[in-house]
Structure 1
Amino acid sequence: MNYLDYISIDPNIRFGRPCIKGTRISVSDVLGWMASGMSMDDIIADFPELTLDQLKGSLAFAADREQKLKYA
């Protein structure tokens, strides 16, 4: 999956946080919801404008960013 199809970074939207394209829903919003126990189906039920691919794109973006982090 190419997460760049689903994620954008715009300094004028949510202070430049990575967001799902065409929305103001940030990757960190999605991760927070999942961390609190929401399933992808739960998120889509609450935000029917989102798709499963967009949510998977958010996870792929976060995983890629984690791999690129340098730890001391």
Structure 2
Amino acid sequence: MTNIKDYISIDQEILSGQPVFKGTRVPIETLFLHLEKGVSLDEFLEDFPTVSKEQAIGVLGIAEKIMTSKNIEKLYETAA
């Protein structure tokens, strides 16, 4: 599995600890909000040039693994 820390950084000094793409100040949430609105991945990357395509695809891959995990109910309980 991909190491989450290769793609996501959480630091209280950056956006009060909101998860961001590593090496940037771009919140991970921004990617999902753009995709929800129908914005393509390429458009997102144009809007946020500090995020690499590899980072965005890596985060999407992590989300896929979490959402398709057989332990999704336990993960949900932990996050709730």
Give TM-score scaled by structure 2 length: 0.71
Which runs of 5 or more residues in structure 2 are unaligned? none
2:76 match: 69
1:10 match: 11
1:58 match: 59
Larger radius of gyration: 2
Which runs of 5 or more residues in structure 1 are unaligned? none
Mapped partners of 2:4, 2:26: distance in 1: 15
RMSD: 2.5
Percent identical pairs in the alignment equals 35
Aligned residues: 72
Give TM-score scaled by structure 1 length: 0.77
After TM superposition, where is structure 1 displaced by more than 4 Å over at least 4 residues in a row? none
